Structure 1
Amino acid sequence: MQSEKLRVNSSHTQGRASTDLKEIQLHSTRMNQRQLRDESDFDQLPDNIPVTATIADIEEKKGFIVYFIFVIEVKTKGNSKYLIYRRYRQFFALHQSLELKYSSEAPTGSYTCQLPVLPGKVFMGNKKEIAESRIPELNNYMKRLLCLPTWVLLDDLIRMFFYQTELDSQQVPRALRRLRPPTRRVKTVKSKTDLFSAPRAEAVFDFSGSGRLELSLKAGDVIFLLRRVNADWLEGTVRDKTGIFPESFVNIIKPLPGSDSDEEGGASRNGKHAPGSYSCLRCYLLQPEGIDTRDICVEEDLSIRPSHEDLLSRMRDVFHVEDIALNYRDPMGDLIRILDNEDVALMVQESKHTGSKVKRPVNQYPWELLVTHAKDLTVYNTEY
């Protein structure tokens, strides 16, 4: 009887082991099928789909405000490589759009996925240090983002973020220090003969630069010329400082080569904006005692639409007035107050129609800013 029980227990144990083995084999088969399906899906992706992205460097940009941009090397499924240039705010906008579309709380759509965590905004601190500290976090974010299911990689939101635009392709990278081995910097000292043969000018009047980009001059200074910004402004170096200054304040001793004058003044002959060159914005401060006119130059493309916050911050720095309001003139000539980004977009849109009627340098924005004191309502063609 006891041996009979043992046989029954042995048979039961063998049967359970056989069942467990079958389950393991079935799970393994399913895993293999899933792996094959994923590989098959990946094989069906087009060659221009990005598969890896790494931050190669950061670069300082002197736009309407000073900010840092991430230089990113993207590698596609077809093994091609290219560089794109993105600000943190573009990462933030992408992540918000993806959350609206794919998070579990998304109001529409049946497909959801676990999105990677994006490093949060930082409102205080040194901008360069903040950008440097974000590099490993953003690299991890892009790595996890590009490991999402293939149907997410095909989303236009991701494809357009990693797409190399025409503006990206025109940029010239400065260092790419995270992609290259460290090398010694060799300083080349020019001879006196080289210095005296270089394009240069002598300051006739004192000039006080009103911003970080403008070069302050003292009468008698010798400025070594780098290039022409536009018809009225030049870029040069004096006392180890580089910046832009109005040509009317100097006497040209040796002019720039013809090619520099013709094609490096912020736009080439075909009207395209040269990468790394300056665009100029004319702005006015309207006061009871008169109008203060300024031309400010920024490293931005003419097609850019800056934010209201950036413009407000820059105008405070330019005119040294805190409590101000931004305005523009509509096609009827009336002053319109700018309150938010939508108003900025409207100003830029209207300038495409009205700006063509005014003759401006090729690198000057077609829209202009009129700055007023926030509480001064007398400048508007309205009764209150």
Structure 2
Amino acid sequence: MAREMQGEALSSLPILDLSYADDPSRRLILLQELHNALFNVGFLYIKNHGVPLETITNLVSRLPALFNQGNDFKASLSKLNSPHFLGYSGFAEETTLGKKDLREQFDLATELPVVWQDPKNHKATGGVGDRDFTKLYWRLRGPNQWPCEDQIPGFKNAYLKYHDALQALSYRFVHLVEEAFGIPIGTFDNFFLPHSTGAQAKTREYMPPQHRIKLVKYPPSTENYQGQGVGAHKDSSGWLTFLYQVGREEGLEVVSTIGEWILAPPIEGTFVVNFGNAFEAATDGAVKATVHRVKAPLSTSNPRYSIPFFQGLPLDLTISEIRRYIPESVRKLRRESGALENHDSVSTFLDSRWDSLGESQLRKWIRSHEEVGRKWYGDEVASYYLR
């Protein structure tokens, strides 16, 4: 890591061993490595993470059958059926930075009921904290579309177990991040748990967040389709991301501190971890969100499968509120280091319209899936967020 801090780009991402957290003689080493990785690189691998191999393989083994289903099956689960942007989107139907991504995917999430209330039919009735469920961003929250059990036997159960294992890992990992940066452990529990008892628990309770998982297939390039699997971007779908890369097909690339692309190939038994725009904005850059992309597989390659888990935050939370939980000693780290960088991709959070995570998430989904946005939210709303 020292080479990166001295301005020399690393040729590979750091790999952290989470088993060190359970060893008092090595826990401090892990925390120092984690601090350096998040401050300097923004991407890392974790191994010995505690997610059972069986939980992973039970879901991974069903991906080929899921994606090999016919067009009628995929149409029955289309995102166009869902105001929550959950379901299937076909090859080149999602957009990143105005360009089509050469992949197909199933978007799923924490299984939660609808809470949104149509203002035409309801007055604001309130819920947890007497919040107004007529706000449009609450319409993002809702249940999954599931394939029938006889179509993909065991899929739903495999997904739910994977989701729960990654959710638990994400909460445990956030505690390590808090400790690594000197933030009181449990500070962020208030955002994730309905009844927080963390060190900084407040009287207000948030709606438990809806985490999202993508099941992604990148077909090999053809003469007609060549380009980005996913264009260069910083994650905006959640607080942090855990990516499982299936098999050996490469494609993920990450920008180093000197602006060069470095490979992040699959490494057996690991997850790739990175943080989103919201975490970078809330910490004033102490935790770095890093630009990354996925190149479409070569025409001679096998399809590439991956499973990113995006840890969600409450939709009615704001970046300004999160900042109040983070000590000034953390928020000034980037400024005091002299390593000030261009954070244009989080500049939207400096705009009061997008300080609300619900508003920024609705904007993100409509911009990524315009057709779905226009169907469920109308042309006027879609045009507003597409500006």
TM-score between both structures, scaled by the size of structure 1: 0.21
- The structure with the greater share of residues assigned to strand is 1
Structure with bigger gyration radius: 1
TM-score, normalization: structure 2? Answer: 0.21
